[in-house]
Structure 1
Amino acid sequence: MSQMQKDLFENYADNIIEESKGSREQGLEIPLAERMRPAKLEDFVGQEHLLGKDKPLRRLLEAGQVPSCILYGPPGSGKTTLVRAMASVTGRKLFEINAVTAKVAQLRDVVDTARNLKRSTGKSAIVFIDEIYHFNKQQQNALLPSVERGDLILVGTTTENPYFEINKTLLSRAIVFELKPLAPGDIEHILFRALRDKEKGLGMFDVVVDEQAVTFISRAAGGDARQALLRLESVVLASVASGKKRVTLEDVVQLAPKSLQIYDKSSDKHYDIISAFIKSMRGSDPDAAVYWLARMVAGGEDIRFIARRMLIFAAEDVGLANPFALVLAEAAASAVDHVGLPEARIILSECAIYLACAEKSNSSYKAIDSALNAIEKGEIQEVPLHLKSHGEGYVYPHDDPRHWVPQKYMTVPKRFYFPGNVGHEWNISKRLQKLWKRYSNKNDNDRN
């Protein structure tokens, strides 16, 4: 190992691992979330689906193994803490790189250092790349050979969907572990631990924090432990500065930002509210639909995301019962993109109310899934000779006064589409019954 690589090793491994220990001497200048970051796996809170007893990832770590992986989850869910715990539990050196500031040359130096370390010790180091989705294709490709050979263990973290943001060739060499927003109970546990800790936490202060205040912070943080610890630390320090010995619920409410109390796009509430919005429209309740829409708009949800979900709903749930719904949803999506907030709220409201009030049918959705299921089961039909591009015997329907002729369009006719009996689809159903015998009996898949 060259002197330059030894220096890099010191910078990226030992110094980084010891950084939090040294920084604690600076006391309150280090945020509470950093001071309270657990170093041991047994102190890690949450993510039971990954780290619970007998879960595969926990068994791997306890056996000293770390797979190359991507930790995908919202802010404050424990991604960085888990990476450092991985290194601690398995006794591996840890190199930390921030994808926002790292250069390709710097990345290659770290890769070379990790390779030489593997040769000298026989043990692969962990190269931790925070927010790896910021790496461009060239930077991601620089990692491929070393990950492939096992010269290093790549652990990346990201708040963005890795299946969209990360190079597919790199992703194929890693396991994606999804971290979930922390439950309020998990955050409460973390907050109370910080309040009890007299060395790194807030136990050094002679301040009592009401349980109601802790509960409120836990619920308002949107699954983000870092945000919760920041709020707790801020309200305690504010009380200390004013000479108060007790922190109440009122103190916390005055400090908490309104936007986070309403809606948090990175928490489970994001999924719960969009689910309530969709189900209210599906249930034909325009009042509930516009309420949940308002919750999203007030919380700062991406209006294009809302418009996209209504486009999907128009096709999936309204469907052919009212084909105009999809046209309206597309027009609304375009208008929202052109107009923006605050006026876009009116467009979204009009579309949501229309979709909620429209007659419903999911027959198109069920038809395509039924056809795909048949193909997955091996029902692969040959194209009938008369339908092939150079086939013979095809009859042109428009030559017939009815603009329709009885001929086969599948080698073995099979029924996938079952029209509903409401709205425009009732007319479709009646016409198909006149044209095809199989539509006169919903259970008959074998006749024309």
Structure 2
Amino acid sequence: MVSLFDALDPAGATSAVDAGGPVDRGPAAPLAARLRPASLDEVVGQRHLLGAGSPLRRLVEGGGRTSVILWGPPGTGKTTLAHIVSRATGQRFRELSAVTAGVKDVRAVIDEARATRSVSGARTVLFIDEVHRFTRTQQDALLPAVEHGWVTLVAATTENPFFSVVSPLLSRSLLLTLEPLTDDDIRGVLERALRDPRGYGGRVELSAAAREHVVRLAGGDARRALTVLEAGAEAILADLPPADLPPAEGDVGEPVARLEVEPLERAVNRAAVRYDRSGDQHYDVTSAFIKSMRGGDADAALHYLARMLEAGEDPRFVARRMIILASEDIGMADPGALSVAVAAAQALDLVGLPEARLALAQAAIHLALAPKSNAVIRALDAATADVRAGRAGPVPPHLRDAHYPGAARAGSGAGYRYPHDDPAGVVRQQYPPDGLTRADYYQPGEHGFERRAGQRLRDLRAAVRGTPET
């Protein structure tokens, strides 16, 4: 998946501001701010939003007035897109942060936008960062302005808007989903920062190991990547003699400093994680994570979980592995384990990192502590083996669908016994095809819930098959 990068301070604005003027890109501005894309052509990634004829490109190039909600992780370009929309359409730009703004601030901006439009005809782009933090009342206050076109709303959220944005506002806006940058996109952003005169103008080099360390720390967030790069680059440049420092305006020149992993670690105060998401370490750490949970070592499982997350592993991959383990290695020994694993994956989708790491950790602990059984996968493998061997006879006539015209004439459903008509809720009846009436695929173990399930299974087999309990 690909995206673009958002170069504003993540804290956002603290009040309504007129951002129609030039953005500060001077040498004193943060690296991310200096490199913020000024047009869609400068944006890295996010091809699904930027292709010819896409809604976003039509909005920017056609001067559209459709309000949009930008949904994506931090650092994926929500603020950048808002500024590009404003500049491309020639509209006034006002910005609010949902962290600090109240209903009064929202209404003040809307009143100002209405007054400006009535006097000069100029339209206003209202950017609201972290709109999910607005209460329902605050979001409802936006509805008349969006409905009547007094403002073009560009709202940003890191949380699922179907849960965090009121339905009337969502229905009046175009929802655009932004996705994290790929590792190659992050490398491209770093290369631009090193070569572009607005960045280091060729004066700083990154070793291969340091580059990959920044990519791991970025986790698909280009703003974070640029922040890490800036911390390391400024640290090594500060140690150079004054004559060797790059010019203030960042003219392209020859490299004067090489940034390695060690000074980069010192600058960001975070050790490099020895982990290659596409190499042996990926498979080794993942294997150790699974085997630790299977073996009941919650502490080791937490270690490997932290190691993967710190290295920038896709957390969805981690969640998927736990869902698989819940059925493959726990199964009916703790039927609730699958629900826990699925809930962790859903929590990840709803709130994202870093908060969702707690849900992943909770699930990992639960799966490690749960009683274990591989009876489910053994049962399915045994049934699959019979099917592949051709042991798949016709469905018994009394089990066939009897609802279509002519079914009775074909004998479908004739003789079927309805279990609910029996006081015991179970009747003697053949369910498998001929030749498989004694196929005992599921063999429960003696741990957890399966100890009780085993007795229930024996009782049911005896009742259904009409054979003595074994």
Decide: shared fold, TM above 0.5. Answer: yes
Q: Residue 234 in 1 paired to residue 231 in 2?
A: yes
Per-residue deviation, residues 56-98 of structure 1 (Å, max 9, x unmatched): 3223322222532211111111111111111122222211111
Q: SS in structure 2 opposite 1:153?
A: strand
Distance 2:338 2:172 in 1: 40
Structure 2 Cα separation of the partners of residues 241 and 97 of structure 1: 36
Residue 168 in structure 1 maps to residue 167 in structure 2: yes
| Structure with the larger helix share | 1
Question: Which residue in 2 is equivalent to 1:156?
Answer: 155
Q: Which residue in the other structure is 1:431 paired with? A: 460
Question: What's the CA shift for 1:159?
Answer: 1.6
TM-score (norm 2): 0.61
Q: Which consecutive residues of structure 1, in runs of 5 or more, have no partner in the other structure?
A: 1-10, 334-340, 364-378, 380-393, 407-418, 438-448
**d(CA) in 2 for partners of 1:300 and 1:193?**
25
Give yes or no for contact 2:136–2:166 (8 Å, CA) kept in 1.
Answer: yes
One-letter amino acid of the counterpart of residue 238, structure 2: A
Does 174-183 or 57-66 show the bigger shift?
57-66
In structure 1, the residue matched to 2:200 is 202
Alpha carbons of structure 1 residues 209 and 94: separation in structure 2 relative to 1, 3 Å: same
Q: Does 1:185 align with 2:184?
A: yes
TM-score, length-scaled by structure 1: 0.63
Using the TM superposition, give the Cα deviation of residue 143 of structure 1 relative to its aligned residue in structure 2, in angstroms: 0.4
Partners of 2:461 and 2:90 in 1: how far apart? 69
1:41 alignment partner in structure 2: 40
Any residues of structure 2 matched to 1:248-327 within 5 Å, and which? 248-250=259-261, 251-258=263-270, 261=273, 293-298=302-307, 299=309, 313=323, 317=327, 322-327=331-336
1:136 partner amino acid: T
Paired residue type of 1:159 = T
Report the equivalent of 1:421: 442
Structure 1 residue 217 corresponds to structure 2 residue 214? yes
CA offset at residue 354 of structure 1?
A: 4.4
How far apart, in 2, do the equivalents of 1:420 and 1:290 lie? Answer: 34
Q: Give the letter aligned to residue 249 of structure 1.
A: E
Distance (Å, rounded) in 1 between the aligned partners of 2:236 and 2:306:
34
Return the alpha-carbon distance in structure 1 between the equivalents of residues 173 and 363 of structure 2.
Answer: 43
SS at match of 1:18: coil
Two-structure CA RMSD over aligned residues (Å): 5.0
- Contact between 1:111 and 1:152, CA under 8 Å: does it hold in 2? yes
Percent identical pairs in the alignment equals: 31
> Matches of 1:36 and 1:109 in 2, distance apart?
32
Q: Is the 8 A contact 1:318 1:355 kept in 2?
A: no
Render the CA deviation track for 1:337-383: whole Å, top value 9, x for unaligned.
Answer: xxxx99x97994463374764322699xxxxxxxxxxxxxxx9xxxx
**Structure 1 CA distance, aligned partners of 2:341 and 2:45?**
40
TM alignment of 1:38-187, pairs within 5 A = 38-120=37-119, 124-187=123-186
Q: How does 1:359-370 map to 2 (within 5 A)?
A: 359-360=375-376
One-letter amino acid of the counterpart of residue 431, structure 1: L
Q: Quote the offset at 1:286 in angstroms.
A: 5.2
In structure 2, relative to structure 1, the CA distance for the partners of 1:35 and 1:395 (3 Å cut) is closer
- Whole-angstrom CA distance in 2 between matches of 1:332 and 1:196: 45
AA matched with 2:211 = V
Q: How many residues align?
A: 358
Q: Are the counterparts in 2 of residues 41 and 89 from structure 1 also a CA contact under 8 Å?
A: no
Quote how far apart the aligned CAs of 1:290 are.
Answer: 8.5
Deviations 1:216-273 (A, max 9, x none): 323431111111111111212111111173223233244344478489xxx9xxxx99
Structure 1 residues 318-347: Cα deviation after superposition (integer angstroms, max 9, x where no partner): 69x9544135778999xxxxxxx99x9799
2:258 to 227, 237, 247: 247
Maintained 8 Å contact 2:66/2:152: yes
Residues of 2 paired with 1:314 and 1:235: CA distance?
A: 40
Q: Distance in 1 between matches of 2:370 and 2:171?
A: 43
Question: C-alpha separation between the residues in 2 aligned to 1:40 and 1:326?
Answer: 52
Between the aligned partners of 1:116 and 1:99, the Cα distance in structure 2 is 23
Q: Distance in 1 between matches of 2:66 and 2:300?
A: 45
- In 2, the alpha carbon distance for the partners of 1:183 and 1:194 equals 17
TM-superposed CA distance for 1:432, in Å, is: 7.0
Asked if the contact 2:333/2:373 (under 8 Å) is kept, the reply is no
